[in-house]
Each structure stands twice: as structure tokens, then as C-alpha cells.
Amino acid sequence: EPEVTQTPSHQVTQMGQEVILRCVPISNHLYFYWYRQILGQKVEFLVSFYNNEISEKSEIFDDQFSVERPDGSNFTLKIRSTKLEDSAMYFCASSRTSGRETQYFGPGTRLLVL
């Protein structure tokens, strides 16, 4: 069964450094998403992406964040200058279409900012 994959599984970085989190969505899916879960808190929506454009983003997704689909398979989340409060589990998800379609999640990348 097709799965969403994410790399790396864990990343430790210093405050102020740039990080890129990578995801390979399910191959026939058209919508891509990033969510994050700060330890002990809810899973929060960050951004959705369709047709090489951001379709929705949350208040969390400020200028420090960007997303890209650099080729036909990868979907990346870049944090330009990490802060301590960016430490979280980041989940990538994909769906065939929007709205009522099921979003399938990857295993997550645990980011720790020191």
C-alpha cells in the first residue's frame, strides 16, 4: 500500500540555522500538507499546497517558513532561521483532492532546536 515517507526521522539543529524537512507524498495525490505537533499539544495545520502554489496557510506559517515541490516527487518544508519554539514533530500529508478526501500522513520528523 502506498505511503507518505519523510526524511529525516530526527533532526537536531542550532537556533538560527536553516532546516529543510523532506517528504515524498503518495504518487497520484495532488494536494500536500504540513502539520506540526509541539510536545503535549494538538496537531496544528501549517500549510496546504496544490498545483505548485500555497492554497491555504495558518497564522503559524509566517515568513520564516516556505514550501516547495522541487521535482515530481519531493515536497519540502524549509524553516529559514529556527527558533527554540519550532521544536516539534512535523507531519507531511497528502490527498488525492481536497476537502472530503482523506489526508494520509507520514511518520513525521522530530525537530529539536537547541
Partner 1 sequence: AQSVAQPEDQVNVAEGNPLTVKCTYSVSGNPYLFWYVQYPNRGLQFLLKYITGDNLVKGSYGFEAEFNKSQTSFHLKKPSALVSDSALYFCAVGGVSGGYNKLIFGAGTRLAVHP
- The site that binds partner 1 (CB under 8 A) totals a number of residues, namely 27
- Asked if residue 4 binds partner 1 (CB under 8 A), the reply is yes
Whose CA is closest to 105, among 58, 96, 95, 76? 95
- Three cell numbers written together for 42: 494538538
Three-class secondary structure of residue 85 per DSSP: helix
102 lines the binding site for partner 1 (CB under 8 A): yes
58 touches partner 1 (CB under 8 A) = yes
- Which residues ranging from 9 to 38 are in contact with partner 1 (CB under 8 A)? 31, 33, 35
Which of 98, 3, 89, 80 is closest to 39 using CA atoms? 89
Nearest-5° angle of CA 53, CA 72, CA 63?
A: 35
| 43 sits near partner 1 (criterion: CB under 8 A) | yes
Q: Which is nearer to partner 1, 28 or 102 (CB)?
A: 102
> Where do contacts with partner 1 occur on this chain (CB under 8 A)?
4, 6, 31, 33, 35, 41-45, 48, 50, 55-56, 58, 91, 93, 98-100, 102-108
